[in-house]
Amino acid sequence: MRNRFDYEKTINLSAPRSRDEVFGKLSKIPGIQLIYVSALACTRHRGNELVNLQRQGVLSFLLFDEIDMITGDYINKTKQAAAQIAAERSPTGIILMTGCQSALLSTDYKLLSKEIEQEIAIPIRVHDGCRLCSFDEDEADAGTGKLGQLMYDFICPGEPSAEPSVNFIGSAELDEDNEIFSILNGAGISQINSLASCKTAEAYHAMGAAHLNIITSAQDAAIGPYLEEKLEIPWVCIGGVYDSDSLRQSYKKLGEILGINADVSEQANRLDGKLTEIKNMASDLTISVEGDAGLAKWLIKERFAVESLSLGRMQGISKEQREWFEKNAPDFRIISPVRGSGGRRGGGSGGRDSGRGQMRYGSDRQDSVKIGFAGSMAVLDRIEESAVSGPLSDKEGRMR
């Protein structure tokens, strides 16, 4: 029987969820200015990051004192700050970055943003960073989903471009070997937009003229229906989808929307064959998944021994997902920083003390990733690698 070890290599399925993620992501929107609207004490955990963004000219500070809060003068100062930034820097939009005082003072920042927008005639949005009340772990679009929606919220509907074009929506930078590129390129679709490739405000807003949004990471799945309602752009989700039937349906929808042949039968047959082969090899492995409920569900359905799902900061899963895990995997643990590292829902210790080798998958690095059939094959390749040879461990029994 193998000694239990931690398998530290990760499969990068989505963007990292680090402390500086919110400001770092929103600062990438071309033409947008961030205004930090909060008390000075709220900067203590991310001071270096905020100062760097200020030096880059994308972030300004509006810091309140006790008198501002007691008298309500912070509201007038917020309006004045937005007007000053608009006059001095001519942004295409402004995001007010709020803190816990919005909850403590019962500030309606959505109403305030509408008033400011009418006064200075540019779009105003709000990101509520309150840790007291802005997160519900049981909402599928909580935390990172709402942040993702905000990143595309300044785009307006546009007349569809003459040639078919697509947007890659999500925080993952795709591996160039993904089948999605060969399918699109083979059909003559060369206009592929992404937020990372937008260097100007004009390029960013041109995403509103695309024919299709392709969702590239599981944590951004809620952006698809949101932008379909806002921009009237249909969407398909390729990232965070792992089983061959669902991937077939996604590519079928993609082909219908773009009017191309998106035949993936060869990839599907290869995945199904690989899955059958790997199942017989991985009977002594226990798998932990980080930040991707869809991956955990797929592996459980295929009868792999999945021990737990670790949620990232400000990440939730839907009620339906949680109920599925409770019904179909009673020993499966959901670990959330909201509930603490020892928190769990849906069962007991799983495979932790079962004598199995333990693998960990996750998304704690920013790197190029594989999605679609290539992503599913990458997961199975990693399982095969560990099943055949096992990781080399150090003196503490942990994979380097």
- Interval 110-150: pLDDT, tens: 899 999 999 999 999 998 866 544 444 444 444 456 788 89
Domain count, the chain: 3
- Report, in angstroms and rounded to the nearest whole number, the Rg of the chain calculated over CA atoms: 23
Structure tokens at 211: 């024919």
Inter-helix orientation angle 144-151/223-231, to 10°: 30
| 232-272: pLDDT as tens digits | 999 999 988 999 999 999 999 999 999 988 999 999 999 99
Residue 300: the pLDDT is 93
pLDDT band per the 50, 70, 90 thresholds, residue 313: low
Question: What pTM was computed for the model?
Answer: 0.81
Q: What is the mean pLDDT of residues 88-114?
A: 87
pLDDT given at position 238: 92
Percent of the chain with pLDDT over 70: 77
How high does pLDDT run on average in the chain?
Answer: 79
Instruction: Please give the torsion angle defined by the CA atoms of residues 388, 393, 397 and 400, in that order, rounded to the nearest 10 degrees.
Output: -120
Task: Please give the helix or strand (H or E) that residue 108 lies within, else none.
Answer: none
pLDDT of residue 69: 85
Question: Is 331:349 a contact under the CB 8 Å cutoff?
Answer: yes
Structure tokens at 71: 């008298």
Q: Are residues 211 and 272 in the same domain?
A: no
Residue type, 295: L
User: Which among 300, 295, 307, 308 is positioned nearest to 375, based on CA atoms?
Assistant: 295
Indicate the pLDDT class of residue 392, thresholds 50, 70 and 90. Answer: very low
| Cβ-Cβ contacts under 8 Å for 236 (sequence gap 6 or more) | 212, 213, 214, 215, 224, 250, 251, 253, 254, 257
Task: Tell me: do 306 and 382 sit in the same domain.
Answer: yes
Q: What is the DSSP letter of 280?
A: T
User: What is each CA distance from 369 to 67, 245, 253, 381, in whole angstroms?
Assistant: 49, 21, 22, 14
Residue 184 class from Cβ within 10 Å (0-12 exposed, 13-18 middle, 19+ buried)?
Answer: buried
- Which CATH number goes with the domain that contains 74? 3.40.50.1980
Q: Are residues 234 and 244 in the same domain?
A: yes
Q: Is residue 115 part of a domain?
A: yes
| Distance (Å, whole) CA 223 – CA 226 | 5
Average pLDDT of the residues in 48-63: 88
Q: Which pLDDT score is estimated for 58?
A: 94
For the ranges 73-82, 93-102, 159-168, the one whose mean pLDDT is highest? 73-82
Residue 358 clears pLDDT 50, i.e. is over it: no
Residues 6+ apart with CB under 8 A from 175: 368, 369, 370, 374
- Do 225 and 326 lie in a common domain? no
Q: Is residue 358 assigned to a domain? A: yes
* Residue 136 structural domain: 32-91+93-151
Does any domain span residue 47? Answer: yes
Q: Which of 60-69, 163-172, 323-332, 356-365 has the highest mean pLDDT?
A: 323-332
> 182-231: per-residue pLDDT in tens?
999 888 888 899 998 899 999 999 999 999 999 988 778 889 999 999 99
Residues 80 and 137 in one domain: yes
- pLDDT the model gives residue 90: 95
Least confident of 44-48, 286-290, 345-349: 345-349
DSSP 12-33: --S----TTHHHHHHTTSTTEE
Same domain, residue pair 373 and 286: yes
Mean pLDDT is lowest, of 242-246, 320-324, 396-400, for 396-400
